[in-house]
């Protein structure tokens, strides 16, 4: 249940803060006062798309926060736990919109993607708009309304999941069938695999080939330079070894005269050791390197083959081992093609059986719900000023039973506005006013089964009045007895039946226009109902009438 909403710098609202309770709350105000702004703000904090026009002129950003009591909503609590967004206190949603149109979303002070905020919002508030009847003629909307009424969520998800899996397997099977008719591709794969396997190439031995090629192609330079250095270090007199040895011997005698020379002698001894070890390493290196034109020619030929294959496959030489792995995997699929086809066909057949079974269950659930919905809407139409009106929901299995994510049913709404007339498709016979009332009847009936705790009705009573308006108000109040209902209305017959009453007013300043929202006291409420009854001039008679209306509906 929505318990608190705070709005700052949104549209023409400077700052507004409201406490909301259970029951039915009416939201009224003069035409153009901005009644829809509160609902727009709620839409923003529930995940609607934002733009820079949402920010009040002159402000840097708009901010909306809404608090919800989740004590009786175990399903929502579990969802928050799964998303690691749960909190011991009430759930708080927050949305910040910058004047550049960018926005940030938060759940319990944790930043979240807008999609996550929207998923949570769909579980907390259900909004019925005044223009919903305009989409009621669409087939997909009719089917979705029926499924919502029938509580088919679980079956729909199962059918949709099985359809997606079936489609993936069917697409894969078609690809394999296509491959089975294109054996040339398999022969090419086999040739490419054999060609690469003959190289016995890996990233490591390719690096070794490169290193050996550099060494052999520069072997003469390496031998000459290393031999010359070895001569200087040890072999040719006066060598560095000989000079270091003489220097050590001379300093050793001088150190008897001055012991401060001892550290220098140690450094020269270390230098002599390092010199001799370097000379030994050079001898070992020279003994292992030789001029080998035949080996060099073989390596150059092999590297040329590697580069040619790399160009052939349009990759770098280092990627050839991975290309071989990929081609071997693809060839393996070809080799196992017949086995894969048989296994896939069996799996697809089993999945088709499951899909048809659950789609049939969905069909039967829709048929049962269609009868109940038709009866309930027909009864409600009489109360909404369409006596003798008859409403039917037709559910027909498509002849070809073409698989889809929502089963294989065609759902059609039919109506007869006059007694004795046959029902015909809704989009062909219903006028705008009739559509509005039929939509309202469906919304009221479906809302009675809604699992969402807060219901918002945005001027769904547009186009009705008199006794019908009283009926609508009574139904909204009854819904409020079971939960929380917020109703934007221009009808005093509806507003008078609310448990709570909010009023939107527009304040005109010298340079700005602001909207305010306030909860009305009992006395203020009588005045507002009187205004709705008689216009801007409130008389003693209209006040008495308003008092009578409120007293009658509150008993």
For the residues of 516-542, what is the DSSP string, one character each? EEEEPPHHHHHHHHHHHHH-SS--HHH
β-pairing verdict for 454-458 and 125-128: parallel
Write down the pLDDT at residue 361.
Answer: 95
Tell me, which fold does domain 1-128+477-520 have in CATH? Rossmann fold (3.40.50)
Which ranges of 313-425 does DSSP label H, i.e. alpha helix?
A: 320-335, 337-383
Give the C-alpha distances (Å, rounded to integers) separating 126 from 109, 129, 422, 455, 485.
Answer: 23, 10, 34, 5, 10
How many Å separate Cα 251 from the centre of its chain?
82
Distance between CA atoms of 206 and 212, rounded to whole angstroms? 10
Residue labelled with tokens 């001894």: 269
Q: Which ranges of the chain have pLDDT less than 70?
A: 33, 88-89, 129-135, 178-184, 335-339, 401, 429-433, 436, 449-451, 509-512, 535-536, 554-555
H or E stretch at 13: strand 13-19
Taking the alpha carbons of 280, 285, 291, 294 in that order, is the dihedral positive or negative?
positive
Burial of 336 (0-12, 13-18, 19+ CB in 10 A): exposed
For the residues of 225-251, what is the DSSP string, one character each? HHHHHHIIIIISSSPHHHHHHHHHHHH
SS3 33: coil
Distance between CA atoms of 232 and 226, rounded to whole angstroms? 10
Query: Does the bond joining 238 to the residue before it have cis omega, within 30 degrees of 0?
Result: yes
Would you kindly state where each structural domain of the chain is located, as residue ranges?
1-128+477-520, 186-335, 521-555
β-pairing verdict for 2-10 and 13-19: antiparallel
Give the C-alpha distances (Å, rounded to integers) separating 536 from 31, 32, 258.
Answer: 12, 14, 118
- Give the CA-trace dihedral at 234, 236, 241, 246, to 10 degrees: 160
pLDDT tens by residue, 378-429: 888 888 878 888 899 999 988 776 788 999 899 999 988 778 788 888 877 6
H or E stretch at 212: helix 203-217
Distance between CA atoms of 162 and 117, rounded to whole angstroms? 28
Q: Are 331 and 190 in contact (CB under 8 A)?
A: yes
Q: Are 107 and 60 in contact (CB under 8 A)?
A: no
């Amino acid at each position: 249940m929505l318990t608190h909403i705070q709005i700052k710098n949104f549209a023409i609202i400077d700052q507004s803060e409201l406490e909301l309770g259970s029951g039915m709350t009416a939201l009224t105000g003069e035409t153009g006062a901005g009644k829809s702004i509160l609902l727009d703000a709620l839409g923003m904090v529930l995940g609607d798309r934002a733009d820079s026009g949402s920010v009040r002129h002159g402000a840097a950003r708009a901010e909306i926060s809404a608090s919800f009591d989740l004590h009786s909503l175990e399903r929502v609590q579990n969802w928050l736990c799964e998303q690691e967004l749960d909190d011991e206190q009430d759930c708080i949603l927050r949305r910040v919109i910058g004047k550049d149109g960018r926005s940030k979303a938060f759940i319990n002070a944790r930043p979240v993607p807008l999609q996550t905020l929207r998923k949570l919002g769909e579980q907390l508030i259900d909004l019925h708009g005044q223009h919903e009847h305009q989409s009621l003629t669409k087939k997909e909307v009719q089917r979705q309304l029926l499924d919502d009424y029938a509580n088919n969520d679980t079956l729909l998800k199962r059918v949709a999941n099985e359809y997606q899996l079936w489609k993936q397997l069917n697409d894969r099977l078609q690809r394999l069938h296509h491959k089975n008719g294109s054996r040339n591709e398999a022969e090419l794969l086999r040739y490419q695999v054999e060609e690469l396997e003959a190289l016995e190439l890996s990233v490591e031995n390719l690096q070794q080939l490169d290193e050996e090629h550099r060494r052999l192609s520069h072997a003469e330079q390496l031998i000459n330079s290393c031999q010359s250095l070895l001569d200087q270090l040890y072999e040719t007199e006066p060598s560095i070894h000989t000079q270091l040895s003489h220097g050590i011997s001379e300093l050793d005698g001088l150190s008897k005269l001055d012991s401060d020379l001892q550290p220098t002698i140690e450094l020269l001894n270390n230098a002599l050791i390092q010199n001799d070890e370097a000379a030994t390493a050079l001898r070992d290196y020279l003994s292992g390197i030789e001029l080998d034109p035949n080996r060099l020619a073989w390596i150059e030929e092999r590297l040329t083959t590697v580069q040619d294959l790399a160009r052939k496959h349009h990759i770098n030489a280092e990627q050839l081992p991975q290309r071989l792995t990929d081609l071997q995997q693809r060839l393996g699929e070809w080799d196992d093609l017949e086995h894969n086809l048989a296994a896939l066909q069996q799996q697809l057949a089993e999945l088709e059986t499951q899909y048809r079974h659950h789609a049939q269950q969905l069909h039967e659930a829709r048929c049962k719900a269609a009868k109940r919905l038709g009866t309930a809407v027909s009864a409600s139409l009489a109360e909404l000023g369409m006596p003798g009106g008859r409403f039917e929901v037709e559910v027909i299995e498509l002849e070809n039973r073409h698989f889809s994510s929502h089963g294989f049913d065609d759902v059609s709404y039919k109506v007869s506005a006059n007694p004795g007339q046959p029902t015909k498709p809704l989009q062909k016979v219903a006028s705008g006013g009739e559509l509005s009332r039929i939509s309202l009847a469906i919304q009221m009936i479906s809302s009675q089964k809604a699992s969402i705790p807060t219901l918002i009705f945005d001027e769904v009573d547009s186009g009705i009045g008199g006794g019908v308006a009283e009926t609508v108000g009574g139904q909204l109040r009854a819904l409020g007895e079971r939960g929380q209902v917020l109703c934007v209305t221009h009808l005093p017959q509806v507003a008078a039946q609310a448990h709570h009453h909010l009023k939107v007013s527009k304040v005109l300043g010298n340079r700005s226009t602001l909207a305010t929202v306030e909860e009305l006291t009992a006395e203020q409420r009588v005045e507002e109902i009187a205004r709705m009854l008689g216009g801007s001039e409130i008389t003693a008679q209209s006040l008495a009438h308003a008092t009578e209306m409120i007293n009658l509906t509150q008993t």
